[in-house]
Each structure stands twice: as structure tokens, then as C-alpha cells.
Copies of this chain bind each other. A is one copy, B any other.
Amino acid sequence: MSVPTVSRVLSGSAPVSADKRRQVLRAIQELGYRPNAAARALATGRRSIISVLTSDTTRYGYASAIRGIEEAARAVGLVVALTMLDGDDEESARVAVDLALDQPLAGMIVLEFDIQGSRALAALPDTVPVAAVSSAGQGRSVPRALFDDHAGARDATNYLLGLGHRTVHHVGIPASGRPSGRLLGWREALEAAGAPVPEIVESDGTPRSGLQAGARLARRGDVTAVLCGNDEVAFGVIKALQDEGSRVPEDVSVVGFDDHPLAEIWTPSLTTMSQDFAELGRMAVDFLLGRLAGVPVATPRSTPRLVVRKSTAPPAR
């Protein structure tokens, strides 16, 4: 019973007599033998890791996308490695990229939801096969799975205008490029409708910063509709508005983005642009794998879908 025989039994690359096979299998059982992954990777050149570069993995959209990526990867026998991007300077992007690159990678997926993602993408050598998950728009020319938050924001804004609001305020979140697709879509819709374009209120995308944004909006007094950069911020905005005595949706309508699992449980339940991040993650994997295999694959796209709940209503007159 030789080494190659074992290899053949394991890989099925050549016929082995039933007898020998049984022998080999039993020995493997007994010894608890596991092929050495490094040696195998070296000999075959096959890489089994998809590396995911992302900032804050605890946020809903990120976590969902990662989940989708992992599912799709596992389905084809690949493992996903996670590297977090935690500074937004170029140096920390380089460090993270280096760490990720030190693995035997089949490919890489960058969640380009924010500036950290863009930085990482920029720091990548162009030898490594990569797919980004990005907002539709410009950026380094790299294969991407796109979510069209430009269109999403436009639709959301139009929906609010359609309810009769004179204009729509916007609470921005950090974006990968500047300005973000969400911001552009919002502005575009306002301009197309001839509505005034109010000053943007910035946030960092967390509920807590939404609280501050909401407080600032409440102080303005003339706000009747708000489009938030994501649901977490929208939650904070609603809370702050309520704390300041505004009723949602009677006094102010609020629309979120992403369709967080808690959006339908919130009081009032949150009208939002639903995005299927998990699906987007899966598409990114398929896209990457397709390109690796040399199969031409169309750029995957996903357009957010308006989910109307109870946080929006026509303005009080």
C-alpha cells in the first residue's frame, strides 16, 4: 500500500481495486489520517480560500453579505477567510490586504460599502482575482456585483414626494466614494421634481448617530420627510424625533434603507428600501468563480425594492 495509492483512493483520480481501497480506508480510519492541506495545495495549485475584506462585520448589511458569500462558497467546497478593515487610512488597508494575501487564495471579495472597502480595493495588486460588492457607480475598474442604491434612493425620494411632501431631507452615512449613490439618487429625484434640496445631515451609520441627526432635524421645524442612509440610522432618527415631540409618520415620514430585520418590528414599523445583501454576496461568489473558470458572466445587479410600512404618510396639511 503505497502513498500514491492512498492519493488515488482519496481523489479517485485512477482506478483502485476494491480490495486495496478497503485496506486504505481502514488504515485511514485507524490512524485518523487527514491529508495535509498545505501540501495538497502546493502540489495541485488548487486554492480553496475566498478571502473577504470588509469593515465592521456586525452591521446588518455586512453580516448578511458575508453570510451569502459563505453559503455560496461552502456550496462549492470553498472556505471563506475574513479580514476586517478597521482604519480608513491607506496603511491599515495595506496591512489587511497583506495579511489576506498571505493565504493560498482562490480569489478575493471586497465589500466596498464604504471608504475602507475602496481603500482596500486600491491596495490590491492586480494579480489577484477579485470581485467587489459595490454601489453602482464609478471606481477602480474591477469586476463588481452591484447594488443600485442610486436608483433605490431615487425611488424612495419619489415615493415620499408622491405622498405630497414638499421636499425630502437626507441623513447621510459614510460612503465608499463621495458623494454616495444614495445621496445622488436622492438629489436627482429632488431636482427632477423641482423640489428644494435641503442641507444633508451627516451620520456615521450607527443608531446613536441617528439619534443626533434626528435631534438636529427636529430642531429645524420644517421637516416633513426624511430619507435615511440606512435603517439603523433611521431607528435613531425616529427615536429622536419622537423624543422631541414629533409624531412619526403624522408629523414626519421616515424612510430607511436595507430592510433590517427589526424594521418591521419597530414602532412605527419602518418603510424602507429592501436590499438582499445575502443574495448579493452569493452573486459575487458566482461571479468571481465564473470569471476564474473563464466563463463570461454578466455583472450581477440588484435593485432595492420599496417596502412600505407605517413610518410614512402624506404630510399633515
Q: Which residues of A contact B (CB under 8 A)?
A: 32, 34-39, 41-42, 47-49, 51, 56-58, 60, 63-64, 66-67, 70-71, 74, 77, 79-84, 86, 96, 99-105, 125, 127, 206-208, 210-211, 232, 235-236, 239, 242, 261-262, 265, 267
Contact B67 A79, beta carbon cutoff 8 Å: no
- B99 with A71: CB separation less than 8 A: no
Q: How far is the CA of A210 from the CA of B264 in the complex (A)?
A: 13
B39–A103 contact, CB under 8 A? no
Give, as a whole number of angstroms, the nearest-CB distance from A129 to chain B. Answer: 14
Q: If A57-B70, A262-B207, A265-B235 touch, does A81 touch B37 (CB 8 Å cutoff)?
A: no
Q: Is the CB of B42 within 8 A of A38?
A: yes
What 10 A-B pairs come out closest when comparing CB atoms? A38-B41, A58-B63, A38-B42, A38-B104, A37-B104, A207-B265, A81-B81, A79-B81, A63-B63, A239-B265
Count of this chain's copies in the oligomeric assembly = 2
User: Nearest chain-B residue to A58 (Cβ)?
Assistant: B63
A42 / chain B contacts, CB cutoff of 8 Å = 36, 38-39, 42
Contact of A235 among B38, B99, B125, B262 (CB under 8 A): B262
- Selected A-B contacts with CB under 8 Å, 13 pairs: A48-B103, A49-B81, A57-B67, A58-B63, A63-B63, A79-B81, A79-B82, A80-B82, A80-B83, A210-B265, A235-B265, A242-B267, A262-B262
**Smallest beta-carbon distance A67→chain B, Å:** 5
A292 vs B77: C-alpha distance when bound (angstroms): 28
Q: Could you tell me if B125 and A99 are in contact, using CB atoms closer than 8 angstroms? A: no
